[in-house]
Amino acid sequence: MTIPHRFGLLFLCLASISLATPAGAVTPEEVKMVQSKAAISMEKLRAHMMAGDDVSKIIPMMKNVKILADKGDLGAANRLLDKILLSFNALEMPEMPDTAPVFINPRQVTITGYKQNVMEAFITGDGQYLFFNNDTGDNPKTDKDIFYARRINDVTFKFMGEIKGVNSAEVDGVPTMDRMGNFYFVSTRNYSKPNSFATLYSGKFKDGRVSDLKAHPEVSLNLPGWLNMDAEISADGKTLYTTQTYFSNDMPEQSYFQVAHLKNGKFEIDSHSNAIFDRINTADIEYGASISSDGRELYFTRLSYENGGKFTSYYATRPNNQTPFSSPQPITAITGYAEAPAITADGRLLYFHKKTGNKFQLYVLARAKN
Q: In the prediction, which pLDDT does 238 show?
A: 97
Q: In the prediction, which pLDDT does 370 show?
A: 63
- Quick check: 18 pLDDT over 70? no
Average pLDDT, the chain: 87
Q: In the prediction, which pLDDT does 79 show?
A: 79
Q: How far, rounded to the nearest angstrom, does the alpha carbon of residue 307 sit from its chain's CA centroid?
A: 21
Q: In the prediction, which pLDDT does 10 show?
A: 45
CA gap 72, 25 in Å, rounded: 6
- Quick check: 6 pLDDT over 50? no
- Quick check: 202 pLDDT over 80? yes
Greater model confidence, 26 or 202: 202
Q: In the prediction, which pLDDT does 93 show?
A: 61
Which one-letter DSSP state was computed for residue 194?
G
> Quick one: which H or E segment has residue 68?
helix 59-70
For the domain covering 103-367, report its CATH number: 2.120.10.30
Q: In the prediction, which pLDDT does 7 show?
A: 42
Q: Are 287 and 230 in contact (CB under 8 A)?
A: yes
Q: In the prediction, which pLDDT does 94 show?
A: 56
Residue-wise pLDDT tens digits, 305-336: 886 789 999 999 999 988 999 999 999 999 99
- Quick check: 116 pLDDT over 80? yes
What is the value of pTM for the model shown? 0.78
User: Nearest to residue 46, comparing CAs of 16, 24, 15, 78?
Assistant: 15
Residue-wise pLDDT tens digits, 248-273: 888 899 999 999 999 998 999 999 99
- Report, as an integer, the average pLDDT of 61-89: 79
Q: In the prediction, which pLDDT does 279 show?
A: 92
SS3 state of residue 277: coil
- Quick check: 173 pLDDT over 80? yes
Percentage of the chain surpassing pLDDT 90? 64
- Quick check: 229 pLDDT over 90? yes
Q: In degrees rounded to 5, what are phi and psi of residue 239?
A: -130, 135
- Quick check: 212 pLDDT over 60? yes
Q: In the prediction, which pLDDT does 84 show?
A: 82
What are all long-range contacts of 188-196, with beta carbons under 8 Å and residues at least 24 apart? 188/227, 190/215, 191/227, 193/224, 196/220, 196/222
- Quick check: 302 pLDDT over 80? yes
Strongest mean pLDDT among 31-35, 138-142, 186-190: 186-190
Q: In the prediction, which pLDDT does 233 show?
A: 98
Residue type, 297: E
CA separation, residue 367 to residues 91, 103, 333 (Å): 30, 4, 11
- Report, as an integer, the average pLDDT of 121-133: 97
- Report, as an integer, the average pLDDT of 161-178: 96
- Report, as an integer, the average pLDDT of 199-216: 97
Q: In the prediction, which pLDDT does 70 show?
A: 76
Q: In the prediction, which pLDDT does 26 show?
A: 62
Q: Classify residue 366 as exposed, middle or buried by CB count within 10 Å of its CB (0-12, 13-18, 19+).
A: middle
- Report, as an integer, the average pLDDT of 75-95: 74
